[in-house]
Amino acid sequence: MKAENATATVLVTGANKGIGHEVARRLVEAGHSVWVGARDAERGREAAAKLGQNARFVQLDVTDDASIREAAQTVGKAGGLDVLVNNAGIVQPDAPNDPRGPLRAVFDVNVFGAIAVTYAFLPLLRKSGAPRIVNVSSDLGSLTRATDPDYEFYNLELVAYPASKAALNMATVQLAKHLAGTPFKVNAANPGYTATDLNSHRGYQTVEQAAEVIVRLATLGPDGPTGGFFFNEGEVPW
């Protein structure tokens, strides 16, 4: 990717539905070449087919190291990668009688998955002229918001999911610092409360609105920010 509007090759994890699928659709529409990452081959192939010729399916379960390795080989052999969108995510209720269960499951996808995928694709991204990494986080992971009584979800009683997004935010900051002084832009995105399967479609935003900030961070120009946390209207406090 030579400039912000040049054609990029992008991988979106968890792109078979929800926000990730809309991000993939928007990027294809903008002329980019998109790998639709999905853990289930049938759902992934179907989703990629809907997006046309510039979308290709790649099997990618972010909790499975062999799957991640094979996906990196596939993408590498096909010509490399400019943009990684770590979108795959899950939510599970806490289980006070078995606290490790949901914590492990949620962290495995939302934190360990995103970090493992990032490390696996870093060698390809380093070969790009304008590498971009977008970690799809949530304002539920903002310590500042969580401790603000005026925050709309201040009273939400949930540990595993917000803690996982706070950890992902820290990983974003640390990776951005590690890659400072290079062409990389590494940022976290807060898509906002969006109607998807994740929340049984209770969210009040559309996936079109949610995808906006992610697409913007995925296609940042050379003067764009790195090491930040953004929503559609600006920055989210950490």
Ligand X SMILES: NC(=O)c1ccc[n+]([C@@H]2O[C@H](COP(=O)([O-])OP(=O)(O)OC[C@H]3O[C@@H](n4cnc5c(N)ncnc54)[C@H](OP(=O)(O)O)[C@@H]3O)[C@@H](O)[C@H]2O)c1
Task: Please say if 193 is a catalytic residue.
Answer: no
- Which helix (H) or strand (E) element contains residue 122? helix 114-126
- Per CB under 6 A, 138 contacts ligand X: yes
Could you say which of 9, 10, 11, 14 contacts ligand X (CB under 6 A)?
Answer: 14
Q: Within positions 197 to 216, which residues make up the interface with ligand X, using CB under 6 A? A: 197-199, 203
In whole angstroms, the minimum distance from the beta carbon of 60 to ligand X comes to 6
- Which helix (H) or strand (E) element contains residue 133? strand 132-136
**Burial degree of 86 (CB within 10 A; 0-12, 13-18, 19+):** buried
The stretch near ligand X (CB under 6 A) out of 51-59, 96-104, 191-199, 221-229 is 191-199
Is residue 163 within 8 A of residue 194, CB to CB? The reply is no
Sheet with 83-86, side-by-side order of all strands: 55-59, 33-38, 9-12, 83-86, 132-136, 185-189, 229-231, 234-235
Point out the catalytic residue in the list 151, 165, 185, 193: 165
Closest CA to 17 of 80, 76, 89: 89
Task: Please say if 165 is a catalytic residue.
Answer: yes
- Per CB under 6 A, 88 contacts ligand X: yes
The stretch near ligand X (CB under 6 A) out of 11-19, 72-80, 169-177, 226-234 is 11-19
In whole angstroms, the minimum distance from the beta carbon of 69 to ligand X comes to 14
- Cα distances (Å, whole numbers) of residue 182 to 107, 129, 177: 29, 10, 10
Is residue 23 within 8 A of residue 14, CB to CB? The reply is no
Q: Considering beta carbons, is residue 88 or 215 the nearer one to ligand X?
A: 88
Point out the catalytic residue in the list 161, 177, 193, 204: 161
Is residue 172 within 8 A of residue 188, CB to CB? The reply is yes
- Per CB under 6 A, 128 contacts ligand X: no
- Per CB under 6 A, 92 contacts ligand X: no
Could you say which of 61, 82, 166, 188 contacts ligand X (CB under 6 A)?
Answer: 61
Q: Within positions 146 to 175, which residues make up the interface with ligand X, using CB under 6 A? A: none
Q: How many residues are given for the chain?
A: 238
Active site amino acids: 161, 165
Residues at the site binding ligand X, with contacts judged by CB under 6 A = 13-14, 16-20, 39-40, 43, 60-63, 87-90, 109, 113, 136, 138, 191, 193-194, 196-199, 203
